[in-house]
Structure 1
Amino acid sequence: MNNKKKITMLFLLTATAIGAYAHGNGMAGINEATKMVTSYFDPGTKLIYAIGAVVGLIGGIKVYNKFSSGDPDTSKTAASWFGACIFLIVAATILRSFFL
């Protein structure tokens, strides 16, 4: 074998070994990232529920103030705040069930 063929063969063997080594580390990295992302779902879901509770309380106060003042737009405000709270709860539940 001449030197050119030896160098080419050495290069191909090195590239194959590096590729195999990188593939193993890539899978370990993907698995680690998956574990990290799924570990954030419980606190994230609880945070969304807490935000929904705060939005619901603020909405309840706004609707009460409009109702007390006799504003005719009370039902529209109540429906929009209620819809926002329901959306937050449903979105958190669906995202959790979709990704876990």
Structure 2
Amino acid sequence: MKTTLFSKFSKRALLFVLSIAYAVTANAQGGGAAGIDAGASELTTYIDPIGNLILIIGAIVGLVGGVRVYIKWNSGDNDVQKSIMGWVGSCVFLMVVGTIVKAFFGV
């Protein structure tokens, strides 16, 4: 069976019309912006507790680091300064991250 030029054209035209109709119905679903807004507000409710948790972990790391540095200092270790810098650096990092997370999301 031989296909004619008109038959090929009509198949392509039908495919084009169906794809346009599909795109129009896909865009007509609505609620996309409302869903994004709902997701953003849901995410904002989690940010404040996560920021507080990071700050609490930073405080605990600071306390543990202080105790470990004190023990090293009393035992007479030579690398007390290196240990202080490591613990203080990690504590400062966690405090800054907790604050930046809150500031980034505007909480």
Q: TM-score range, shorter-chain basis?
A: 0.7 to 0.9
Partner of 1:97: 103
Q: Map Cα deviations across residues 6-58 of structure 1 (whole Å, 9 max, x no partner).
A: xx6x955565244222xx22211111110111111110011001100110111
Larger radius of gyration: 2
Partners of 1:15 and 1:51 in 2: how far apart?
Answer: 49
Letter in 1 for 2:27: G
The answer to whether 1:85 aligns with 2:91 is yes
Query: Gaps spanning 5+ residues in structure 2: where?
Result: 1-9
Q: How many residues are treated as equivalent by the alignment?
A: 91
Q: Alpha carbon RMSD of aligned pairs, Å?
A: 1.9
SS in 2 for 1:40: helix
The answer to whether 1:19 aligns with 2:4 is no
The answer to whether 1:46 aligns with 2:52 is yes
Partner of 2:6: none
- Structure in which a larger fraction of residues adopt helix: 1
SS in 2 for 1:72: coil
- TM-score with structure 1 setting the length: 0.79
Decide which of 26, 39, 44 is 1:33's aligned counterpart.
Answer: 39
Letter in 2 for 1:19: N
Query: Gaps spanning 5+ residues in structure 1: where?
Result: none
SS in 1 for 2:31: helix
1:96 positional shift:
1.6
- TM-score with structure 2 setting the length: 0.75
Partners of 1:14 and 1:58 in 2: how far apart?
Answer: 61
Runs of 4+ in structure 1 deviating by more than 3 angstroms, as ranges, are: 10-15
Identity %: 43
Q: Map Cα deviations across residues 64-100 of structure 1 (whole Å, 9 max, x no partner).
A: 0000000010111011101111111111111221222
